[in-house]
Structure formats: C-alpha cells, structure tokens
Amino acid sequence: MTSNTAYNKLVELAFEEVNFGKFARDLRKSTADNPVRIGWTTLEGNNRYYFCYWDAAAYTPSNPATQTRESEDMVALRVIGLDGDWRTITYDTVAKYRFEGVTYRVI
C-alpha cells in the first residue's frame, strides 16, 4: 500500500477560496498579537506580502481619512516588523491571506 504523504502535503498547500467579505471580517479580527499575512498586487504590478493587523483605534466614523478610504474600498493597516509603518491596500488587489493558521485565496 502506498503512503498518503504526498497527498497530505498537497492538501496542506491547497487554499480555501473565500470572498472579500470573509477577508474583511478576518482582517477586522486581526491584532498585533494575531496578525494577518496578506499578499496583494501593487498598482505598479509588484507582489507584496506583509504581516499586518487592523488598528481599530485608527478607524472612527468621524475620521476623514477613514471615510475617504472606505469610499474607495481601501484600508490602511499596521505592519508588523516595520516600526510605526502602515500599508494601504485596495480590497480588489488582495490575492491571498493567511490568518490563524489557514491560507485563503480571495476570489
């Protein structure tokens, strides 16, 4: 009988496909201690991968920056490992993300 080792490795690499709503919900659950690793494409066509988290304190309805970003389907995220740095992503450029040990492909 053959081993299922190769099959098990393929299953580990397979990504669950999710929509942007699931991505946004997971993103809002992220913290500095439980970040999301996001892979997206920049406007210049470059792939970027960062460990980020949602900083709820920065998102207030009265904040003009929050209103502008939300109207353009964008979000600014704190980056882990780059002291005080932020990245702004557009939801439709996100290709995949990893959160709580599971990798997802956003469709």
From CA 87, how far away is CA 51, in angstroms rounded? Answer: 10
| Residue 4 placed within a domain | no
| Residue 80 placed within a domain | yes
| Residue 68 placed within a domain | yes
**pTM beyond cutoff 0.75:** yes
- Domain with 37 in it: 16-106
- Phi/psi region, residue 100 (left: phi>0; alpha: psi -120 to 50; beta: rest), is left
| Residue 101 placed within a domain | yes
| Residue 30 placed within a domain | yes
Tokens coding 64: 């003009």
Domain count across the chain: 1
Whether the pLDDT of residue 37 is over 80: the answer is yes
Q: The domain that contains 51 carries what CATH number?
A: 2.30.30
| Residue 10 placed within a domain | no
How confident is residue 68, by pLDDT bands cut at 50, 70 and 90?
confident
